């Protein structure tokens, strides 16, 4: 009866509202569903792209198996997995303080590359002319300085003139790349453009494994950053600036100072990761030394909701996906670009599922029932 008297306003089929909170288990269930759906779509895409699976559909199980096989089948692969994970995690950690204050630093690629460049430049000019320990320290200082320099330039302009930091840091990546290309031309005189691996400036091997030191350093970094961001005054100031610059100003936080200080920290950590790449792994440099991980790290940090400890898991997930996909292209003899396709698809699903964590959907039918119940109470 009441329906007759209400004016004919059509209620939309779906109505959205922001969730005030969600049970963590519920949220992780949603994310898990997203990953499973993503993997299903990947299987479909693999079927379309890989002839060997079209011929023998049962090979699709090899496809899923490869995700495990790619990272965990031999001890060597596990170490390699942990090493790549650490480098990716290191860059993601470096980005996090900036992201927490909503400073969209997408220049980690360049900042890390500058770190590598700083370390390798010192190694190139001073290697062999001084004791190894002193060389390693100088390399570290140079890497930290270069990383911080590349981060603080956009920060200064952001703080003073509100220059768009996303576009600025993006450009700085390319300037860094060509700077490395320039130095390679200067250093390598035979025209090949490839710098041979240097004999000096290598981090000591700890515990019998080449990668253990790097893994430990990054793990320590994750814990330290977690404490810095959550339990110190600096960390609190970063969060306040991120939430609302006006509030920060009102309570007497110098926004400029926080922006510059935090970006220096961000750049220092990028520089440190660059040092780990340069002194810990490569002892050489190419324009591709960071290999796009500066961009992947943005997703790692974002997926973990800017929580340093959670990033260990998100970095592991992304690394597992790309190593697994690389295994697939090797096993099934397809283009080496397949990992990016698979990573991309799964990222779409993870990115999309955040919506269902942040928002609640109300369908038309359910809303009506709720209203009727309320009226019944009256």
Partner 1 sequence: MNIWLNFLIDSLAFGATFIYGSTGEILTEKAGHLNLGIPGIMCMGGAGGCLMLNLIGKSGLPPVLIVVLGILSALVFSMLMGLIYSFLTVTLRANQNVTGLALTTFGVGLMKVIMSKLTATVYLVGPKQYYRWPFAGRQDSLQCLGVLFFLAIIIAIAAGWVLFRTKVGLHLRAVGENPATADAVGINVNRYKYLATCVGSGIAGLGGFYYIIDYMASQEAYLSLEAFGWLSIALVIFALWRPPVTIIGSTVFGFLFSCSSFITIIPGVTVTMAMKPVLKMLPYVVTVLVLIISSIRNKRENQPPSSLGLSYFREDR
For partner 1, the binding residues (CB under 8 A) are 16-18, 49, 104, 106, 157, 161-164, 166-168, 170-172, 174-175, 178-179, 181-182, 185-186, 191, 295-296, 298-299, 302, 334-341, 343-345, 347-348, 351-352, 354-355, 358-359
Closest distance of CB 272 from partner 1, Å: 23
CB atoms within 10 A of CB 69: 17
Nearer to partner 1, 18 or 378 (CB): 18
What Å distances lie between residue 33 and 28, 79, 354, 356, 378, CA to CA? 9, 29, 12, 11, 41
Confirm if 361 and 16 have CB atoms less than 8 A apart. Answer: yes
Nearer to partner 1, 104 or 313 (CB): 104
Confirm if 249 and 255 have CB atoms less than 8 A apart. Answer: yes
As given in the structure block, the two tokens for residue 292 are 């796009």
Nearer to partner 1, 161 or 231 (CB): 161
Closest distance of CB 17 from partner 1, Å: 7
Confirm if 224 and 90 have CB atoms less than 8 A apart. Answer: no
Nearer to partner 1, 280 or 308 (CB): 308
Nearer to partner 1, 141 or 175 (CB): 175
CA-based nearest residue to 33, from 374, 353, 366? 353
Nearer to partner 1, 128 or 344 (CB): 344
Nearer to partner 1, 72 or 157 (CB): 157
Closest distance of CB 206 from partner 1, Å: 34
Closest distance of CB 182 from partner 1, Å: 4
Confirm if 90 and 218 have CB atoms less than 8 A apart. Answer: yes
Closest distance of CB 103 from partner 1, Å: 12
CA 372 to chain centre: 48
Confirm if 79 and 208 have CB atoms less than 8 A apart. Answer: no
- What gap in Å lies between CA 25 and CA 286, rounded to an integer? 44
Closest distance of CB 161 from partner 1, Å: 5
Closest distance of CB 186 from partner 1, Å: 5
List, as one string, the DSSP characters of 154-172.
HHHHHHHH---HHHHHHHH
What Å distances lie between residue 92 and 86, 89, 164, 184, CA to CA? 10, 5, 21, 27
Closest distance of CB 340 from partner 1, Å: 3
Confirm if 155 and 256 have CB atoms less than 8 A apart. Answer: no
Nearer to partner 1, 168 or 226 (CB): 168
What Å distances lie between residue 299 and 55, 65, 99, 155, 170, CA to CA? 36, 25, 11, 21, 15
Nearer to partner 1, 120 or 140 (CB): 120
Closest distance of CB 76 from partner 1, Å: 26
Closest distance of CB 280 from partner 1, Å: 26
Nearer to partner 1, 182 or 220 (CB): 182
CA-based nearest residue to 43, from 28, 30, 62? 62
Confirm if 318 and 295 have CB atoms less than 8 A apart. Answer: no
Q: What is the 3-state secondary structure (H, E, C) of 303-355?
A: HCCCCCCHHHHHHHHHHHHHHHHHHHHHHCCCCCCHHHHHHHHHHHHHHHHHH
């Amino acid at each position: 009866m009441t329906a007759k008297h209400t004016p004919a306003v059509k209620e939309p089929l779906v109505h959205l509202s922001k969730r005030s909170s969600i049970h963590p288990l519920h949220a992780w269930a949603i994310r898990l569903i997203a990953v499973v759906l993503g993997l299903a779509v990947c299987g479909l895409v693999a079927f379309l792209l890989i002839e060997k699976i079209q011929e023998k559909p049962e090979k699709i199980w090899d496809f899923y198996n490869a995700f495990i096989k790619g990272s965990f089948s031999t001890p060597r692969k596990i170490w390699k997995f942990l090493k790549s994970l650490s480098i990716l995690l290191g860059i993601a950690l470096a980005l996090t303080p900036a992201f927490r204050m909503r400073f969209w630093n997408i220049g980690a690629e360049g900042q890390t590359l500058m770190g590598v460049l700083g370390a390798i430049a010192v190694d190139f000019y001073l290697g062999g002319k001084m004791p190894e320990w002193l060389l390693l320290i100088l390399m570290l200082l140079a890497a930290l300085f270069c990383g911080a320099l590349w981060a603080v330039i956009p920060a200064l302009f952001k703080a003073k003139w509100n220059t768009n930091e996303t576009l600025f840091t993006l450009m700085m990546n390319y300037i860094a790349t060509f700077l490395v290309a320039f130095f390679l031309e200067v250093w390598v005189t035979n025209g090949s453009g490839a710098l041979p691996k240097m004999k000096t400036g290598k981090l000591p091997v700890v515990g019998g494994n080449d990668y253990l030191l790097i893994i430990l350093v990054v793990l320590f970094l994750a814990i330290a950053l977690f404490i810095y961001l959550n339990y110190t005054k600096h960390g609190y100031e970063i969060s306040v600036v991120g939430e609302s610059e006006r509030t920060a100003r009102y309570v007497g936080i110098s926004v400029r100072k926080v922006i510059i200080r935090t970006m220096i920290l961000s750049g220092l950590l990028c520089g440190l990761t660059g040092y780990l790449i340069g002194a810990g792994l490569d002892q050489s440099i190419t324009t591709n030394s960071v290999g796009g991980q500066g961009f992947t790290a943005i997703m790692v940090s974002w997926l973990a909701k800017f929580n340093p400890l959670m990033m260990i898991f998100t970095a592991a997930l992304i690394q597992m996906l790309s190593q697994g996909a690389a295994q697939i292209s090797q096993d099934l003899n397809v283009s080496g670009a397949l990992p990016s396709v698979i990573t991309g698809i799964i990222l779409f699903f993870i990115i999309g599922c955040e919506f269902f964590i942040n928002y609640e959907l109300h369908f038309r039918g359910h809303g009506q029932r709720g209203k009727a119940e309320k009226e019944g109470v009256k």
